[in-house]
Structure 1
Amino acid sequence: MKTNKIYGFLSFLMIAFTITSCVDDGSFTVPNVTVQEPNITPNSTILAIQTALQQEYNSNGDVVYSFYDNPENPTYVEGYVVSTDATGNFYKKIIVQDKIENPTAGIEVVLNKTSLGETYEVGRKIYIKLDGLSVSYDDGESASWINPTNGIIGKYVLGALDGDQVDDIPSTSVKDHIFRSATVAEIVPTTIKLADITEAHINTLIQLPAAQMLKSDLTKTFAGEASDEYDGFRTIFECETEKTIQLQTSTFASFKSNLVPQGKGTFTAVLSKDYASEFLVAIANTPSDLAFTDANRCDPPVLECTGAVGGSVVVLDEDFESLTTGAALTAAGWTSVNANGGTTLFAPASFGGNRYVQVSAYRSGESPLEAWLVSPAINLDATTGEELTFETNTGYDNGKALSVYVSSNFTGDVKTATWLRVDAALSEGPSSGYNSFSSSGSINISCLSGDIHVAFKYDGADGGVTTTFQVDNVKVTGN
């Protein structure tokens, strides 16, 4: 979503606040800028907003619910602002959660107004009058599939009804719906693991205690690359679990051209979903929220073999051209398995006369999805200087989902084998449509011996990372 930079508004306020009135005795009077506590007693909650829409969906199938005017008994909710547009990373919206600490619900409030951080700073308690507003829900599915009661994580947005959609609250109406409290609290981010995220955490402030940028993103800026349009997406890597989430940064953010931090540390951000609500994203208020100050990164160990590679003896060469079904894949010695017991697998596919295997979490109904494709046994005893290569392609890329491993003790169960990651170049982008196949580069496996297996592991989730990954031309050669 496009945003605008903030130019000098804080300075303007400071100047405005220091304007004084001259009196005969030479003294000056400073205007009273104290926020007066409004005479409002909340009679609903942010969680109740979500429940109202769910009930509307259960009754009528609608994913928009409107709060009608009730002058005698208006409906108010209270919450705490956890976002700021001061760096340009949020635009015409404020994110509000229901509690200072351990929130149970959050909501995105869209307003036709900018420079919101000057009035609704992080920690500011506000009251929202719901009368005349509407709330919508989106989980990234097509219109007929959106469902606020299923297991796919979605996002609630509060605003003004425009036709059958929720749009920005008009600038002239903001004062009628949003009221500032005198309270400014210190928000305590919810410490969480990525695997434990639920819909209740959306539109709240979260913190990962140990995280870093994914190694392949270390040479990039936050959102200043030629391929970044509207938003830049980089990958946050969680040290303990090796799970990832997309860091979304506006191409209008003041820090878009900053190089991403190189170390590891705590990561604090607003948890949300992308513009189309298709996958989870984390949005930082400022680059300092990525406190990656520890130079000792937590990159997973990778296979490190040395020496010359690349002989003419072919040990494995699979282009998948003759493997047109899952049964044929299995008969050829490949193992395609869903580690969580689901039904989504790497499966044969084709396009433009080329065959390959592919997998995606999109509309799989599985969250998380962990799928493995393991090669037949590859014996390295009769060769030296072995090299592994393969090709990958991505479609509708919304995050890193593929990793590649080797094992010397795989016997059929991916959970009991010992896997060592290989450092391979994997396809990236685009967010819409498909890329073209690209090479992994030369991967030295010459220090291995005996029977080994190569595995392609897909970690995704319906409603999370759903990137389609295709694998082709897996080859091992030696001397």
Structure 2
Amino acid sequence: MKIKYCFYILLSLPLLTGLTNCQKPIDEPPEYTGPRITANTSIAALKQLHLLNNYEKIMDELIIEGIVVANDLTDNFYKSIVIQDSTAGITLRLDGYALFNVYPVGRKIFVKLKGLWMGDYAGMIQLGAGVDRSDPLSPQLLSIPQPLFERVIVKGPVKQLITSKRVTIQELADTLQSMLITLTQVEFAASDTGKPYADAINKQAVSHTLRTCGTGTVYLRTGGFARFASALTERGHGEITGIYSIFRTQKQLLLRDTSDVHLDGLRCTQAGPKQMFSENFSGQQTDSILQIKDGRNITETGDRYFMARTASGNTYAEITAFATREQSVINWLILPRIDLDFSSNEILRFQTKDGFDNGAVLQVLYSTNYDGGDAPWKARWNKLDAVIAKGSISGYAKDWINSGDISLHSIRGKVFIAFRYEGNDPPAQIGKLTTTFRIDNIQVFGN
């Protein structure tokens, strides 16, 4: 028994030695290099497939990659993220909340496009999951539902380098849609300084005018739910970083946070634009016929005038042919005479809303031979190219539409500017043109 016992011990010793000698060092985990997926098209190439005011379902196995440059961290980008690659940017509509936790700014993501839809909202190209056609007159791009996020979006590495493109207002172009840009040499218009970025009480979006020391402008738009809505706009001059957007013909900048605002310099000097005329109707008596000092409010046909109306504490001009039972309703709201002989690069700006639009027309005209009398239609008037609100057929527009910068530079001498409304309200139920138009914040600037 002793021999056998010793034999077992001797056999065990080499085995233990072998086990000890076979131990390997613990391997370090491999460095994370991102998901095993590759983009096969660019964002710019994808957007080239879109036809304005249409919706396209993507049927091919296309994949784009991009870095998140905006999300819902401050609630100014509602249920959406914005990504960009080296060629372009695009907005993804996502039906979820707190997206910033999963898609922080600086994260690279890959988007599998097959089965998704591409459309545009007032010209801004977006990606979604389908099209809601319940209202044939106003189809809407559907957001990608949260259960599909992981299937459609592949998360990549975080803290990727983001560099905004530095541009001036004059360099803004459609190719910059949904891209992170830094607008240089800008300041808020004097009337928009020291104002809340948005209406935090009523949760209403607000657009503020950004200008240069020349004549270019763009609108900084902020939603009423933004966490910085109640913060006040700065008074200095400098640069602002944000996402470039458009709404129809309006150029807009969407702010991610007030930390992207750097207006520390001196405002434009005496050589910059000066306000030559301003009217916001704040001094008008509500529900009364408008009276502008040295201006005119004239009815050409039909018993109707431009009226002062008030909503949410804001007073504006309003005109409509509704309930007049007139075959023709033509009205003129004429601004005081403006002398353009001692200025240059003049521009006109204003805002409009429409309601129950069925085809009545609001035009902006100017005349250099109107005598200021009771018959403006006897003078020669020329049309100004302005953006006028339209298309709100089932109610009143929610947002004010900016006219854009309307150049008066080619006009010399003393000039009258007029808003001319033309509609009707015949007894017959067909052929009515009774659209309601609202006008506010009329301004003329020049150097």
TM normalised by structure 1 equals 0.54
Q: Which runs of 5+ in 2 are unaligned?
A: 1-28, 134-139, 278-293, 303-318, 335-349, 354-363, 372-387, 390-396, 415-434
Maintained 8 Å contact 1:82/1:122? yes
**240 and 303 in structure 1: CA distance in 2 versus 1, 3 angstrom threshold:** closer
**289 and 317 in structure 1: CA distance in 2 versus 1, 3 angstrom threshold:** closer
2:49 corresponding residue in structure 1:
52
* Amino acid aligned to 1:398: I
**224 and 47 in structure 1: CA distance in 2 versus 1, 3 angstrom threshold:** same
What's the secondary structure of 2:185's corresponding residue?
strand
* 1:322 to partner: Cα distance: 6.4
1:96 corresponding residue in structure 2:
83
Distance 2:351 2:221 in 1: 21
* 1:243 to partner: Cα distance: 2.0
Which of residues 100, 111, 129 in structure 2 aligns to 1:160? 129
* Amino acid aligned to 1:232: V
What's the secondary structure of 2:45's corresponding residue?
helix
1:264 aligns with 2:240: no
Which of residues 42, 56, 69 in structure 2 aligns to 1:82? 69
1:435 aligns with 2:428: no
* 1:111 to partner: Cα distance: 1.0
Which of residues 183, 205, 208 in structure 2 aligns to 1:208? 183
Distance 2:218 2:83 in 1: 21
* 1:321 to partner: Cα distance: 5.4
Which of residues 182, 190, 205 in structure 2 aligns to 1:231? 205
What's the secondary structure of 1:356's corresponding residue?
strand
Distance 1:159 1:180 in 2: 18
Superposed, which structure 2 residues align to 1:367-378 within 5 Å? 373=366, 375-376=368-369
* Amino acid aligned to 1:170: P
**234 and 52 in structure 1: CA distance in 2 versus 1, 3 angstrom threshold:** same
1:198 corresponding residue in structure 2:
173
Superposed, which structure 2 residues align to 1:75-474 within 5 Å? 75-99=62-86, 103=87, 105-138=88-121, 140=122, 154-162=123-131, 165-182=140-157, 184-224=159-199, 229-237=203-211, 239-274=212-247, 279-297=250-268, 300-301=273-274, 355-356=331-332, 373=366, 375-376=368-369, 397-399=400-402, 401=404, 414-415=409-410, 434-435=437-438
**415 and 46 in structure 1: CA distance in 2 versus 1, 3 angstrom threshold:** same
Distance 2:275 2:56 in 1: 51
* 1:210 to partner: Cα distance: 1.0
Which of residues 36, 39, 44 in structure 2 aligns to 1:39? 36
Distance 2:163 2:171 in 1: 18
* 1:279 to partner: Cα distance: 3.5
Maintained 8 Å contact 2:320/2:437? no
Maintained 8 Å contact 1:373/1:457? no
Matched-pair identity in % = 22
What's the secondary structure of 1:126's corresponding residue?
strand
* 1:377 to partner: Cα distance: 9.4
RMSD: 4.4
Q: Which runs of 5+ in 1 are unaligned?
A: 1-31, 141-153, 305-315, 325-348, 363-370, 379-393, 406-413, 420-431, 441-454, 459-479
2:379 corresponding residue in structure 1:
none
- Deviations along 1:75-129, one digit per CA (max 9) or x if unpaired, are 2111121113211111211111122xxx3x2211011122222332223221111
Count of residues in correspondence between the two structures: 307
TM normalised by structure 2 equals 0.57
- Deviations along 1:169-217, one digit per CA (max 9) or x if unpaired, are 1111101111222253332222223343322111111221111111112
* Amino acid aligned to 2:206: G
**115 and 36 in structure 1: CA distance in 2 versus 1, 3 angstrom threshold:** farther
**64 and 191 in structure 1: CA distance in 2 versus 1, 3 angstrom threshold:** same
**186 and 280 in structure 1: CA distance in 2 versus 1, 3 angstrom threshold:** same
* 1:303 to partner: Cα distance: 6.6
* Amino acid aligned to 1:98: D
1:3 corresponding residue in structure 2:
none
Which of 1 and 2 has greater Rg? 2
* 1:36 to partner: Cα distance: 5.2
Distance 2:295 2:208 in 1: 34
**Greater relative contact order (CA < 8 Å, ≥ 6 in sequence):** 1
2:343 corresponding residue in structure 1:
none
* 1:65 to partner: Cα distance: 1.5
What's the secondary structure of 2:264's corresponding residue?
strand
* Amino acid aligned to 2:401: N
Maintained 8 Å contact 2:91/2:126? yes
What's the secondary structure of 1:108's corresponding residue?
strand
Distance 1:250 1:88 in 2: 8
- Deviations along 1:306-359, one digit per CA (max 9) or x if unpaired, are xxxxxxxxxx876565699xxxxxxxxxxxxxxxxxxxxxxxx99676622689
- Deviations along 1:47-97, one digit per CA (max 9) or x if unpaired, are 22222334xx8xxxx8211223x7xxx421111211132111112111111
Maintained 8 Å contact 1:372/1:457? no
